[in-house]
Amino acid sequence: MNGMQHPAIAIVTPNTLAGIGLSDIIRRMMPGAEICLFPRFADLASESEADSFFHYFVSASEVLAGAAYFLARQAKTIVLVHGDETGHLPQGFHTLNVLLPEEDLVHSIVSLAHRSHHAHGEEPEAVRQARHAKGNEPATAPPRLTPREREVLKEVVSGHINKVIAEHLGVSLATVITHRKNLAEKLGTRSVAALTIYAVAHGIVRGEEI
């Protein structure tokens, strides 16, 4: 991992499939980030640049295995839990329920990232820099959204249904449906999770707004 560029993300879990799945979601959220997978805390601890990670996503068992290490980096550590299994963890850690549907998981990751940035005094600018780091720019320019499409996208990401969006924007239901169709065509997806990633990555919504 020599020459690692920030932000770099460490995922520490003995569950290989869970680690790969989380890695895929984070890469879609932060294309410029370097993601390193470690099956055990001992593997992370042996890494020469282990203290250079921007965030640590760690299974509960490995947090306990490296309790002193992660307590010293608590603001940057996000514990991967299954449901409500938090009773045996030290207090103060951010947790991420890996059993959530993808859409909710994306919302939780964005929210946790922004909260922890503020907690340890770092700005999300580092994440924005990674997205635009030299050599990581997309091959083609992102699709241009109209002001109204951006408004509809913000409403969709906020979890509002078409009828509510129409009321908020003062337009007809048919107009909202048309805008959502245009968004799906321009962005190549109808998935709210994917739309959320796009909206956050392009500054249309802030993490604390979702």
HEC string of the chain equals: CCCCCCCEEEEECCCHHHHHHHHHHHHHHCCCCEEEEECCHHHHHCCCCHHHCCEEEEEHHHHHHCHHHHHCCHHHEEEEECCCCCCCCCCCCEEEECCCCHHHHHHHHHHHHHHHHHHCCCCCHHHHHHHCCCCCCCCCCCCCCCHHHHHHHHHHHCCCCHHHHHHHHCCCHHHHHHHHHHHHHHHCCCCHHHHHHHHHHCCCCCHHHC
Give pLDDT tens digits for 38-84.
999 999 988 877 788 888 999 988 988 898 999 899 888 999 988 76
Write down the pLDDT at residue 18: 87
CATH class of 147-209: mainly alpha
Superfamily of 8-131 according to CATH: Response regulator (3.40.50.2300)
Write down the pLDDT at residue 53: 87
Please state, rounded to an integer, the average pLDDT across all residues of the chain. Answer: 79
Q: What is the pTM of this model?
A: 0.63
Domain locations in the chain as residue ranges: 8-131, 147-209
Write down the pLDDT at residue 86: 59
Give pLDDT tens digits for 129-155.
444 443 444 444 567 899 999 999 999
Write down the pLDDT at residue 148: 95
Give pLDDT tens digits for 82-136.
876 655 677 788 888 888 888 788 878 777 766 655 554 444 444 454 444 434 4
